């Protein structure tokens, strides 16, 4: 196998092979391989001689078809007098093996190794406006337009290209080349058809298994013959330098010979200076060599000195020479090899010299500044080199070092910027305001006045860069691809939270996408064309910046109006469990989340086959929300964990028959990996999918009849083997009725409490009687049955109360009237009553107050004292009620006088008992006897007066007369 460093395209290889054949390489390969093959055939296979023989008649094609490529090779070389006549005669007459494929196989290896050059090294040289640029590739030089069109090209081998500061011309140095091919031996494969004859025994054996074969079977024998390896000698070509107009027209060309291996070139569009690895400096003009100088050490760089015929040359020893009008003088030296050289408008030299020591460093001549650690770019036809560039006005010198690009103005550092990977190429605009840096990681960073304004991303390292004088056009080379881009200013108004800075924005132009990193609002460069600005999401752990939208622009030039790009800060939302919940994974502000209400789940190793998850609530950042709604709204202001809480529900009971069932004891929940996550009768989980196992306990039916209870109820399912307690309790109703336990019918036991083991279904029937409550108002008591509170229905009860309930002095309280269930009963008299209990009895009584009234009299006799109900009248009169004392005075009883108040109750009005009072009998004198006597006396007096009146009247009449 050949060891190749680079892969190649076969079509490109074919074109390059034809070019090699035309130059003579194929002549050597074809002749040597033909002689070796024919000699091998003759010696190894005993074939016929040279003239008119044949070699394995595997190809009987005519001469133009069989080995047509080889035939062209011989034909092209015949004019040079080789090969010898006998070989030319032989090749014209022989019928040969079809070896064109062998030769093409060998040449494919030559091709691939040659393409190591074709596909490997290149670099670009920009012009003033970059409407075109000069591109040097290992197989030629190209003049390429800004739009990518190839305007001119010429074949060349490892060419060097140089131009003046404005790109008004370009010089090409076509250098010698070396190919060194090594390989392993080739193999010759021969296929021979033949026939195999099978024995009868073998055929009979096959027939036993139903396989029928013919007695003769055709086969093909493949024979591989190893061939000796091929060794191809090195091939050289002379170096040619030429000068061309910008559109490629050749002005002149000079051959420098095979020994002038050029390593550097420079031109002022009149002279061309070529430096070589041997230390020679060739000065060319008008198609001839006008001067040759020897520096004694390899030339590593050359630059035009900004004056006609003036050039600067840098060497591997760190010396800098100035050539002018035939004289060569050393003008400076630096520590290291001069790998970047330029001239300022005043004609002085500026160089970057690389020195490999303990730390690689680059020295900037003539400033004497040293930067470390530095970078040396190994890639390119003009390599190695230090990534550095000088502006046309000579004020700005930019150098790439590890992780940084450093820009100097007037020998002092102006600014530096960090780059994402090693800088490999640097380009500067005419006044130095725009600096472009290409990196090993494929990024092209464009800085404007020290601020990053563009970042063009790529996947391949940037091997060469070029900028127009105004910095508005950029050409980028990546390995064997080069493309140019026009740039325009755009004012970006970035409305983002501070955490989102810097913001990455994808800038898409056609099929190309570039990555811009924006530290804030400001002006940026973007490619010209239809541009889409697509801000990228930015993730910072559990926080991200989400772009608000893309912006599409049709950019033809600078965009004056601000282009707004916005971001909003969002936080990661961990939503659990997955698959059965929905909602945004990132949110800011109110966000809604949804969950399935019920999810069916399988159950393993249980009497039931299926259970379910029932949504019972939500949990937000550890805070439980007892909200069973299928959606919840959360105000997301930080990284948030939202969990839908599901209760694992299995059938609580599995009914086997009327008196036997299984009760769910516990539920064990595992995740899909078998890890226990919850357990209990109805565990709550926030995981899905889950593996559920239910544990069930056997139960039997235990029952009784109301009002008896077993373990607190009339019937229950008791765990098999558990202890149950039957209680014959009395049940009291609110209406004063109760059921009183008598006995257990099945057990014939009056024990109120019975304990049994539930080893089977059990039912006990209680016997009860109806009792009514008898309640007597104290001090009344139930005297028969003694102190009874509840009395069986139909029984008699006797209730007694004291005669005097209370007494204080001449005042006492006694029972007024019996009241049964709130209804006064006038028929019940006395302090002891008997009642038949047919319903609840509430026996009360009314009370009345009695006062002790005292009576006194002057005449006769009276009851001295008596108790009278409050408000009642005392029907008491003295005996007798009239008395003659003394005659003829007759005293008659007139009533009673309250001795305390003097109030007199005239008979027949009786005194009212309003308190303990003493009443005195009031006697009145009977005037009838007295009036009778007085009337008689008065009549007598009147009669006397009347008579005297008449007598007086008579006397008066007599006097008047």
Q: What is the pLDDT of residues 91-117, one digit of tens each?
A: 333 333 333 333 334 344 333 333 333
Listed residue (336, 177, 142) closest to 247, CA to CA: 142
Q: Mean pLDDT check: name the lowest of 50-64, 123-137, 926-940.
A: 50-64
CB 939 within 8 A of CB 947: no
Give the separation between CA 432 and CA 399, rounded to whole angstroms. Answer: 12
More confident residue, 462 or 24: 462
Q: How many CB atoms lie within 10 A of CB 446?
A: 27
- Which of 24-33, 193-202, 219-228, 861-870 has the highest average model confidence (pLDDT)? 861-870
Residue 326 has pLDDT above 80, yes or no: yes
Residue 677 has pLDDT above 70, yes or no: yes
Give the separation between CA 450 and CA 409, rounded to whole angstroms. Answer: 12
Residue 47's pLDDT is what?
Answer: 35
CB 907 within 8 A of CB 873: no
pLDDT, tens only, 383-409: 678 899 999 888 999 999 988 999 999
Residue 948's pLDDT is what?
Answer: 82
Q: How many CB atoms lie within 10 A of CB 885?
A: 11
pLDDT, tens only, 773-794: 998 998 999 998 888 889 999 8
Residue 237 pLDDT level (bands cut at 50, 70, 90): low
pLDDT, tens only, 327-348: 999 999 998 899 889 999 999 9
pLDDT, tens only, 852-888: 999 999 888 898 899 988 888 888 899 888 888 777 7
Asked whether the bond before 880 is cis by omega within 30 degrees of 0, the reply is yes
Residue 19 has pLDDT above 50, yes or no: no
Q: Which DSSP string corresponds to 595-659? A: E-SEEEEEB-SSS-SEEEEEEEEEEETTEEE---SSEEEEEESS-EEEEEEEEEE--SEEEEETT
Element (H, E) at 421: none
Residue 178 pLDDT level (bands cut at 50, 70, 90): low
Residue 378 has pLDDT above 90, yes or no: no
Q: Tell me whether residue 931 is exposed, middle or buried, using C-beta atoms within 10 angstroms of its C-beta: 0 to 12, 13 to 18, 19 or more.
A: exposed
Give the separation between CA 286 and CA 275, rounded to whole angstroms. Answer: 18
pLDDT, tens only, 813-849: 998 899 999 899 888 888 899 999 999 999 999 988 9
* CATH fold for domain 122-182+234-377: Methylamine Dehydrogenase; Chain H (2.130.10)
Give the separation between CA 838 and CA 791, rounded to whole angstroms. Answer: 9
**CATH number of the structural domain 387-479:** 2.40.10.480
Give the separation between CA 861 and CA 864, rounded to whole angstroms. Answer: 9
Give the separation between CA 907 and CA 173, rounded to whole angstroms. Answer: 169
Give the separation between CA 304 and CA 307, rounded to whole angstroms. Answer: 8
In angstroms, the Cα distances linking 170 to 131, 167, 241, 267 are 15, 7, 11, 7
Token pair in block for residue 948: 């005297």
Give the separation between CA 452 and CA 466, rounded to whole angstroms. Answer: 17
pLDDT, tens only, 137-160: 888 999 999 889 999 999 888 899
CB 612 within 8 A of CB 569: no
In angstroms, the Cα distances linking 279 to 314, 316, 619 are 10, 9, 80
Residue 245's pLDDT is what?
Answer: 94
Give the separation between CA 71 and CA 66, rounded to whole angstroms. Answer: 8
Give the separation between CA 463 and CA 567, rounded to whole angstroms. Answer: 35
Listed residue (300, 299, 396) closest to 340, CA to CA: 300
CA angle centred on 492, ends 488 and 494, rounded to 5°: 160
Q: In the predicted model, what is the mean pLDDT of residues 168-177?
A: 86
Residue 524's pLDDT is what?
Answer: 87
Q: Mean pLDDT score of the chain, rounded to an integer?
A: 82
Residue 765's pLDDT is what?
Answer: 94
Residue 404's pLDDT is what?
Answer: 93
Buried b (16+ CB within 10 A) or exposed e, 266-293: bbbbebbbbbbbebbbbbbbeeebebeb
What does pTM read for this prediction?
Answer: 0.53
Whose tokens are 């204080």? That residue is 808
């Amino acid at each position: 196998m050949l060891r190749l460093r680079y892969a190649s395209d076969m079509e490109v290889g074919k074109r390059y092979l034809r070019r090699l054949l035309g130059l003579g390489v194929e002549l050597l390969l074809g002749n040597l391989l033909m002689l070796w093959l024919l000699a091998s055939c003759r010696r190894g296979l005993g074939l016929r001689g040279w003239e008119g023989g044949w070699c394995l008649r595997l190809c009987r094609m005519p001469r133009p078809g069989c080995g047509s490529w080889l035939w062209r090779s011989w034909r092209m070389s015949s004019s040079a007098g080789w090969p010898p006549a006998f070989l030319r005669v032989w090749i014209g007459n022989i019928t040969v093996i079809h070896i064109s494929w062998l030769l093409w196989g060998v040449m494919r290896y030559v091709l691939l190794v040659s393409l190591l050059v074709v596909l490997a090294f290149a670099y670009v040289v920009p012009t003033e406006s970059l409407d075109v640029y000069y591109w040097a590739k290992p197989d030629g030089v190209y003049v390429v337009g800004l739009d990518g069109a190839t305007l001119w090209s010429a074949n060349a081998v490892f060419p060097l290209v140089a131009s003046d500061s404005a790109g008004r011309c370009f010089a090409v140095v076509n250098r010698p080349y070396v190919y060194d091919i090594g390989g392993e031996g080739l193999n010759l494969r021969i296929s021979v058809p033949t026939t195999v004859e099978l024995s009868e025994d073998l055929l009979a054996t096959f027939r036993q298994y139903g396989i029928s074969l013919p007695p003769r079977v055709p086969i093909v024998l493949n024979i591989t013959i190893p061939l000796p390896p091929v060794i191809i000698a090195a091939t050289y070509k002379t170096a040619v330098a030429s000068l061309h107009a910008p559109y490629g027209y050749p002005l002149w060309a000079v051959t420098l010979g095979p020994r002038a291996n050029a390593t550097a070139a420079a031109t002022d569009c009149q002279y061309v200076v070529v430096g070589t690895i041997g230390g020679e400096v060739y000065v060319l003009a008008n198609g001839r060599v006008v001067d040759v100088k020897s520096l004694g050490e390899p030339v590593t760089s050359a630059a035009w000195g900004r004056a006609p015929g003036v050039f600067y040359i840098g060497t591997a020893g760190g010396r800098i020479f100035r050539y002018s009008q035939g004289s060569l003088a050393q003008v400076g030296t630096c520590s290291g090899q001069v790998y970047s050289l330029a001239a300022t408008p005043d004609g002085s030299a500026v160089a970057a010299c690389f020195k490999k020591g303990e730390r690689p460093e680059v020295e900037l001549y003539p400033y004497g500044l040293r930067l470390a650690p530095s970078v040396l770019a190994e890639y390119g036809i003009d390599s190695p080199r230090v990534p550095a560039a000088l502006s046309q006005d000579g004020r700005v010198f930019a150098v790439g070092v590890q992780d940084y690009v450093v820009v100097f103005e007037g020998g002092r550092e102006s600014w530096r910027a960090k780059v994402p990977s090693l800088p490999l190429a640097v380009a500067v605009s005419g006044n130095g305001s725009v600096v472009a840096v290409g990196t090993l990681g494929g990024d092209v960073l464009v800085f404007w006045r020290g601020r990053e304004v563009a970042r063009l991303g790529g996947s391949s390292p940037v091997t060469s860069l070029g900028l127009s004088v105004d910095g508005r056009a950029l050409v980028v080379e990546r390995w064997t691809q080069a493309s140019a881009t026009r740039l325009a200013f755009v004012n970006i108004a970035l409305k983002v939270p501070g955490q989102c800075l810097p913001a990455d924005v994808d800038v898409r132009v056609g099929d190309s996408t570039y990555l811009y990193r924006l530290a804030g609002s400001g002006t940026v460069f973007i490619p010209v064309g239809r541009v889409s600005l697509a801000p990228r999401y930015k993730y910072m752990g559990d926080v991200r910046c989400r772009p608000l939208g893309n912006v599409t622009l049709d950019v033809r030039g600078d965009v004056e109006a601000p282009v707004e790009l916005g971001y909003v800060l969002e936080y990661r939302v961990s939503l659990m469990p997955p698959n059965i919940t929905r909602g945004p994974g990132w949110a800011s502000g109110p966000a809604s989340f949804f969950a399935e209400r019920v999810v069916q789940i399988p159950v393993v190793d249980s009497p039931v086959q299926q259970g379910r998850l029932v949504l019972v609530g939500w949990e937000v950042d550890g805070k439980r929300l007892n909200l069973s709604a299928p959606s919840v709204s959360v105000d997301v202001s930080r990284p948030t964990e939202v969990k839908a809480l599901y209760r694992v529900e299995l059938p609580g009971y599995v009914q086997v028959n009327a008196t036997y069932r299984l009760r769910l004891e516990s539920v064990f929940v595992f995740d899909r990996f078998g890890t226990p996550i919850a357990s209990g009768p109805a565990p709550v989980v926030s995981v899905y999918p889950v593996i559920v196992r239910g544990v069930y306990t056997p139960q039997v039916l235990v029952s009784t009849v109301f009002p008896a209870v077993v373990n607190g109820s009339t019937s229950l399912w008791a765990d098999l083997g558990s202890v149950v307690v039957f209680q014959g309790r009395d049940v009291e109703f609110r209406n004063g009725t109760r059921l009183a336990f008598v006995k257990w019918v099945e057990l014939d036991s009056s024990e109120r409490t019975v304990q049994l083991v539930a080893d089977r279904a059990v039912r006990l029937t209680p016997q009860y009687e109806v009792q009514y409550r008898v309640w007597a108002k104290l001090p009344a008591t139930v005297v028969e049955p003694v102190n009874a509170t509840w009395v069986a229905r139909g029984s008699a009860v006797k209730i007694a109360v004291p005669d005097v309930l209370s007494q204080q002095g001449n005042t006492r309280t006694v029972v007024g009237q019996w009241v049964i269930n709130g209804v006064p009963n006038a028929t019940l008299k006395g302090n002891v009553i008997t009642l038949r209990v047919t319903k609840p009895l509430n026996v009360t009584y009314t009370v009345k107050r009695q006062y002790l009234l005292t009576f006194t009299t002057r005449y006769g006799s009276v009851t001295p004292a008596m108790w009278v109900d409050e408000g009642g009248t005392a029907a008491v009169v003295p005996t007798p009620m009239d008395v003659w004392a003394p005659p003829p005075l007759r005293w008659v009883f007139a009533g009673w006088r309250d001795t305390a108040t003097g109030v007199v109750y005239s008979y027949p009005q009786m005194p009212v008992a309003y308190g303990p009072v003493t009443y005195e009998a009031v006697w009145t004198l009977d005037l009838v006897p007295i009036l009778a006597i007085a009337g008689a006396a008065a009549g007598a007096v009147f009669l006397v007066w009347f008579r005297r009146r008449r007598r007086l009247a008579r006397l008066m009449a007599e006097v008047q007369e």
